[in-house]
Each structure stands twice: as structure tokens, then as C-alpha cells.
Amino acid sequence: MRVVLAEDLALLRDGLIRLFEAHDFEVVAAVDNARSLLETLDAKDADIAVLDVRLPPTFTNEGLMAAVEIRHRRPAFPVLVLSQYVEQLYAKELLASGQGSIGYLLKDRITDVRAFVEAVQQVAAGGTVLDPQVVSSILTRAQHEAPMERLTEREREVLGLMAQGRSNAAIAARLFMSEKAVGKHTNSIFTKLDLPQAADDNRRVLAVLAYLHHD
Amino acid sequence: MWGGRSPRRVPLLRVDEAGLADRGRIWLLEAAHVLLAVPSSLVFVLIVAGWPTATVGVGFLLLHLAVPSAARLGRVHRHLAGLALHRPVEVRDHQRPRERGAALLWGGPLTWVQDPRRWLDLAFAAFAATGGLVMSAIVVALPAGVIAHVVLPFVFPGLWWMVLLIPLDLALWWILGPVLCTARAITTLAMFGSSRTAQLERRVAAVSESRAETIDHSAAEIRRIERDLHDGAQARIVSLGMNIGLAEQLLHTDPAAAAALLAEARQATTDALEDLRGVVRSIHPPVLADRGLAGAVEALTVQMSVPVITTADLPDPIPAPIETAVYFAVAEALANVVKHAGAHQAWVRLEHRDNRLRTQIGDDGTGGASLDGGSGLAGVARRLRAFDGTLDIDSPAGGPTTVTVEVPCASSSPKT
């Protein structure tokens, strides 16, 4: 799998390159700013872009803007955004297109190498991966709201893990239930949230969006 | 500037019921002034006579009788001026004599001589007995002209033309009453410390107080940050180093134990980062740096369990310290909405006009919010005072609640 990396801190950039290469990813390019990232993506073929939210010159949210821009140029191109802190608002903006292939993670999650690599693969495969911190804040908020109240405690747990980009198998292992039971729960979630029949991955995105867009 | 509200003006040329009520009120006020002229002149004479005779002892008694009375009269006059202008008047205390008991007899006058406000009392007693009396007496006497011009033609039929003067009398009374009353009230307040110097004195006092508060607040804040870093991130990183060092030693002899230590170390980095993030957020929320005030407030509202409508009209950039203070004010107010208001809907309005940043946070909840009882909003209000900002709560029982934060900020000025 070919990865394009945008991270302005050399230390972290080198670490990520090493991490990717150790897991049989090919790092096509590693740049330190958003403009080079966009140029690289135009010039080279890649499967996923991994980028930092804060990039030069202003070190505010160029990464986020770049992610939105990339998706504007190439809809549904997999983008994983890493950040020193996570904001529900940013997750909402990233997911706005409703097309999946989006990841938004705290930089801390890199330390759990296996989970991080899985997340990259999930996003590249069209899935949605939100940081557990975003998910938990959404879930706390969602508990007070009407459509979410229809979900059982168990279903909310499943949806939470789903929003973190876990597969049914991973959810089953985490919650100590059979994969079949997870499938039943997800179907019931889709029904309760009135989500249209579509590819399963996309419905997972929509379920997460249903949380985020619930105003 | 100081006191904010300007006095309510009585419209001079409009003739209606409210105007008549105003004239009646003014007449009563001025009648009170005329009555007060008697004690005022008495007090003036007593004080003036008291000083030279103090050398023979009698004067001390006169002064002890008259000086406090002058102060009391001064208070009454200021109160009346406040009534005339429809605005609250601050009354500041005189200096207190330090002596007690018998020493007070001569120590008191000594303090009085040194207190400029006592001299103002004296000057005002003189004014109330002379110029002030004339002004008030005119207002009180004007209706008498009307009465005279009605009565005289009855008594002396030759003076019938005097009836023609009645409209003139009425017009004079209608216009001169409010003018003289306002003039007198303004004179009173000007003499009693609404002077420029007195205003500046108060301003300096307020600024010193808010500066002291800000310094206290900053010191406490720095201590808190130091403690958070010391007990949190620093301690975790130390234990992290220890675990890695230990794992290094065990790597060959006991790989399983080494792996467990490394896993623990990894968890410690996550916890340390979490601590650091908490500290950073408490100093300056990163989203504020990224998006500015409007974006940061939006980020706040996205995670609220109550729907919040945000409107922002911020054409110019806002100085960073003010932005931070206002952000924390909004965060606190919104947290209160969730915790206490039981609201179904909330709203935030940000407006930057005429060099003032005005922020309102409202909800349709149960109301009853206040600044008392050590609420978080009281702390926010203290913090805002450092910027000359104000925080007002309008929250009647039963709701709705509106919190208004206003901070002067000249965004274009390079000084801020």
C-alpha cells in the first residue's frame, strides 16, 4: 500500500516512515507542508494520505483544510488526519461529504502501533475511523437526544466501536460476543436510525454521521 | 464615562401629562432645597465661627456640632441631586479621626481640616444658602406668578391686562423649572466629587483593584499549571523512563516481563500526553488558536447536549487575551446552561461594534442564575474586569436567562 505523508516535525515524520515501512507500506513521499502534499498527490499515485492537522505556515488547521481540498479534488480519496488534540467540530467537517475513507485520530494513537496500522488499512479500504475521544464525547452527548434514545446500551457500545473503525470481528472480540450477534446489533442500529440500504461500509459512515449531524 | 448612564432629560417643549408630573416632582425637590437652605446657612455660620473660637474651647463644641451636620446635609443634597438626574449617586466616606475618647475632641477637627471633602461640605453649605437657594427659590416661586396674575385682576379690575401674562408665566415655569433643577443637581454633583479629578481618582482605584485581582489570578494560575505539570506529565515521564530502563535490562533474561513493562510505558506516554493536553487547554484552547473566537465557540456548541444557535458578527480581529477571556466566559455560561438551566434551546451571539465586543449567551431554561455563591461566572466576571469588561446576568426565576459579556476592545489599535 502506498502512503503519502505530511508532517512538519522531522522526528515524528521519520518515526512514521519507519513504522510504515516496518509494516510493508510504501511511503511514496514524506513532505512537511500542505502545498507540497497537494502537489505530490497530483504527481504520484498513492492509496492514502496521512497528514498532521497543524502544518506550516500558520500552524493552525492547514492539514484539515488540505484534507477537505484533497477530497474536493478526488472524492472519496482515503485521508487520515492526525492531531495533537481532537475536536468534534473538525470530525463533523471531515465527515461532511458522507463518503467514508476518512480517519481522524489523536497522535497518541500512533503509540498503539497495531491499532494504528489497522486504522490506516481501514481508511484505505473505505472505512471511517474516529478517535475514541471524539466518539465518547459524541456518545455522551447523544444519550440525551431522541433518535439515539431508541438505541439500547449494547447498541450504543457497538456503534461507538463502529465509529472507531473496527470491523465486526474486532467488535465481537472486544465486547465478548459472537460476530453474528454484532451483525444483528448493527442491523438493528441501521433500522433504528432510518439508514437506507447501501454498502455496509457506507452505512457505517452514515451511522456515525447521524450522531454528528444531530442538531 | 464613569457611571455610564447619562441623566434622563425632561423634554422642555413637550406638554403632556408626564411633563406635568415631572414639573410637580421638580417643584417638590426644589421646595426641599429651599427648606434645606436654612440649616445649611446655620451650619456654615457655625463652622466659620467655630474655627477662630476653637482657641478658647467653645469652638470645639461648635465644630463637633456643625461639621457632622454639614456632612449629613451634603448627603441629603447629593441624594436630591441623584433624584433630580435619575441616576445613582455614590457617596464616599469622609476620613475617620484616628483618636478615641477625649482626644477625639481636638483630634477630630484636626482630621477634618486635612480632609478635602470636609472643605467641600463647607463650600456646599455656603452654596446651598446663597446661589443654590436663589435657583431653587425661583423654581418654587414661579407658580406664584400665575396665582398673582389670576388674583390681582379680580381684586383690581384696572389690572385686567395681567391675565395676558399668564401664558408667559406658565411657559417660564414649564421651561425654567427643569433647567434650573438640572443645573443645580449638576452643580451639586460637580462640587461633590464628580469632578474630573474625583473621576480619575475613582478610575485609578478601580484599575488598581482589578490589577491586584489580575496579579493574584495569574499567580494562582501559574501555581496551578506548575502543580499540574509536576504531579502529572512530569511524574509520568519519569516513570516512563524507569520502565524503559528496566525493560532494557530484562530484554534478554525475561523477555515477557520486558514486554509487559514496555506496554506499561506506552500507556504512560498516552497518559502524559493527556495531562499535557489538559494543561494546554486550560491556558489557551488550541481550537481558539486555530479558528478564532467564532470558530472556537462553534466547536464548543457542537458538543453540547442542548442545541445551540450561534451568530457571529466579528468583522475585525480581536486581541488574543480578550478572545481567551471571552471564550472561557462563553464556555462557563454554556456549561451552566447544561448543568442547571434545564433548557431545550440555547443561543450565543457575538458582536463587535464601536470598539466593544458584546457577547450574549441565552437559554429558555428555568432561570434563577446569579453571580453569588462562588459560582464559576463570578470568577469569569473577575477575570473580565482586568479588561474593563462586564458580565451581567438577567435571569428571573422561571427564566429565560441571558448572560451578557461586554469588553471594550479597539481591534484596530496597535497598542492593544
- Neighbouring-strand partners of residue A29: A4
pLDDT digit string, tens, across residues B283-324: 889 999 888 999 999 999 888 888 899 999 988 888 888 999
Query: What is the average per-residue pLDDT within B91-105?
Result: 65
| Interchain pair B270, A60: CB under 8 A | no
pLDDT of res. A15: 92
Q: How many residue contacts between A and B have a Cβ separation below 8 Å? A: 46
pLDDT of res. B5: 42
Rounded Cα distance between B170 and B147, Å, is 10
Asked if B287 has any chain A CB less than 8 Å from its own CB, the reply is yes
In sequence order, the 6+-apart residues with CB closer than 8 A to the CB of B77 are B33, B36, B124, B128, B188, B192
C-alpha cell at B175: 421651561
Asked if B307 has any chain A CB less than 8 Å from its own CB, the reply is yes
Q: How many angstroms separate the CA of residue A88 from the nearest CA in chain B?
A: 7
Low-confidence ranges of chain A (pLDDT < 50): 215
Question: What is the band of B170 on the pLDDT scale with cuts at 50, 70, 90?
Answer: confident
pLDDT of res. B9: 64
C-alpha cell at A8: 512538519
Q: How many angstroms separate the CA of residue B309 from the nearest CA in chain A?
A: 10
Question: What is the band of B2 on the pLDDT scale with cuts at 50, 70, 90?
Answer: very low
Q: How many angstroms separate the CA of residue B379 from the nearest CA in chain A?
A: 26
| Interchain pair A88, B269: CB under 8 A | no
- Residue whose entry in the numeric block shows the C-alpha cell 498532521: A52
Asked if B302 has any chain A CB less than 8 Å from its own CB, the reply is yes
The values of phi and psi at residue A134, to 5°, are -65, -45
pLDDT of res. B94: 67
Question: What is the band of B414 on the pLDDT scale with cuts at 50, 70, 90?
Answer: very low
- What distance separates the 2 farthest-apart alpha carbons in chain B? 134
Query: What is the average per-residue pLDDT within B132-138?
Result: 85
A200-212 helix and A132-142 helix, angle to the nearest 10 degrees: 60
Q: β-strands B346-353, B356-363: how paired? A: antiparallel
Asked if B128 and B73 count as a contact pair (C-beta separation under 8 A), the reply is: yes
CB atoms under 10 Å from CB of B183, counted, come to: 14
Rounded Cα distance between B45 and B41, Å, is 6
- Neighbouring-strand partners of residue B406: B358, B390
Asked if A152 has any chain B CB less than 8 Å from its own CB, the reply is no
Rounded Cα distance between A34 and B238, Å, is 35
- Residue whose entry in the numeric block shows the C-alpha cell 477634618: B112
Strand ranges for B316-355 from DSSP E? 346-353
Asked if A197 has any chain B CB less than 8 Å from its own CB, the reply is no
Rounded Cα distance between A111 and A105, Å, is 12
* Residues from chain B contacting residue A85 (CB–CB below 8 Å): 277, 280-281, 286-287
**DSSP three-state, residue B349:** strand
A200-212 helix and A153-163 helix, angle to the nearest 10 degrees: 110
The values of phi and psi at residue B209, to 5°, are -65, -45
Asked if B277 has any chain A CB less than 8 Å from its own CB, the reply is yes
pLDDT of res. A142: 64
- Neighbouring-strand partners of residue B357: B352, B407
B-interface mutation test, from A11, A53, A89, most B Cβ less than 10 A away: A89
Angle among Cα B181, B183, B188 to the nearest 5 degrees reads 95
- Report the mean per-residue pLDDT for chain B: 82
pLDDT digit string, tens, across residues B242-265: 899 999 999 999 999 999 999 999
* Residues from chain A contacting residue B289 (CB–CB below 8 Å): 60
Instruction: State whether ipTM is beyond 0.90.
Output: no
Where does residue B105 rank: exposed (0-12), middle (13-18), buried (19+ CB within 10 A)?
Answer: middle
pLDDT of res. B194: 56
Please report, rounded to a whole number, the percentage of residues in chain B having pLDDT higher than 70.
90
Residue B380, pLDDT > 70, answer yes
For residue A137, give the chain B residue with the closest CA. Answer: B303
C-alpha cell at B194: 464628580
Asked if A187 has any chain B CB less than 8 Å from its own CB, the reply is no
Mean pLDDT is lowest, of B6-10, B331-335, B392-396, for B6-10
For residue A63, give the chain B residue with the closest CA. Answer: B290
Q: Whole-model pTM?
A: 0.66
A55, A60, A61, A63 alpha-carbon torsion, rounded to 10°: 0
pLDDT digit string, tens, across residues B173-213: 888 888 888 888 888 777 776 566 777 888 888 888 888 88
| Interchain pair B289, A60: CB under 8 A | yes
Asked if B42 has any chain A CB less than 8 Å from its own CB, the reply is no
C-alpha cell at B127: 452654596
Which of B289, B295, B303 comes nearest A88 by C-beta?
B303
Asked if A124 and A165 count as a contact pair (C-beta separation under 8 A), the reply is: no
Residue whose C-alpha is closest to residue A8's, from A95, A66, A92: A66
Q: In angstroms, what is the C-alpha Rg of chain A? A: 17
Question: Residue A29: in which H helix or E strand, if any?
Answer: strand A26-31
Residue window 9-48, chain A: list those with CB within 8 Å of chain B. none
Tell me which of B409 and A195 has the higher pLDDT. B409
CB atoms under 10 Å from CB of B208, counted, come to: 10
Rounded Cα distance between A47 and A14, Å, is 20
Sheet holding A79-83, edge to edge: A26-31, A2-6, A48-52, A79-83, A102-106, A128-130
Which of A90, A111, A137 comes nearest B270 by C-beta?
A111
Q: What is the b/e burial string over B391-401, where b = at least 16 CB atoms within 10 angstroms of the residue's CB? A: bebebeeebbb
Question: What is the band of B128 on the pLDDT scale with cuts at 50, 70, 90?
Answer: confident
C-alpha cell at B73: 446635609
Question: What is the band of B332 on the pLDDT scale with cuts at 50, 70, 90?
Answer: very high
Residue B96, pLDDT > 70, answer no
- Residue whose entry in the numeric block shows the C-alpha cell 482605584: B205
A-interface mutation test, from B280, B287, B302, most A Cβ less than 10 A away: B302
In sequence order, the 6+-apart residues with CB closer than 8 A to the CB of B192 are B74, B77, B78, B81, B120, B124
Q: How many angstroms separate the CA of residue B286 from the nearest CA in chain A?
A: 8
The values of phi and psi at residue B348, to 5°, are -130, 130
CA-to-CA separations, B182 to B12, B175, B178, in angstroms, rounded? 12, 11, 6
Residue whose C-alpha is closest to residue A29's, from A9, A43, A19, A15: A43
Rounded Cα distance between B117 and B112, Å, is 8
Residue window 80-99, chain A: list those with CB within 8 Å of chain B. 84-85, 87-90, 92
Rounded Cα distance between A37 and A7, Å, is 10
CA-to-CA separations, B181 to B15, B23, B165, in angstroms, rounded? 18, 10, 23
Query: What is the average per-residue pLDDT within B63-85?
Result: 81
For residue B271, give the chain A residue with the closest CA. Answer: A108
**DSSP three-state, residue B360:** strand
- Residue whose entry in the numeric block shows the C-alpha cell 484636626: B110
Asked if B109 and B54 count as a contact pair (C-beta separation under 8 A), the reply is: yes
Query: What is the average per-residue pLDDT within B231-237?
Result: 88
Rounded Cα distance between B222 and B224, Å, is 5
Residue whose C-alpha is closest to residue A192's, from A142, A137, A138: A142
SS3 content of chain B, % helix, strand, coil (to 5): 70, 10, 20
Where does residue B93 rank: exposed (0-12), middle (13-18), buried (19+ CB within 10 A)?
Answer: exposed
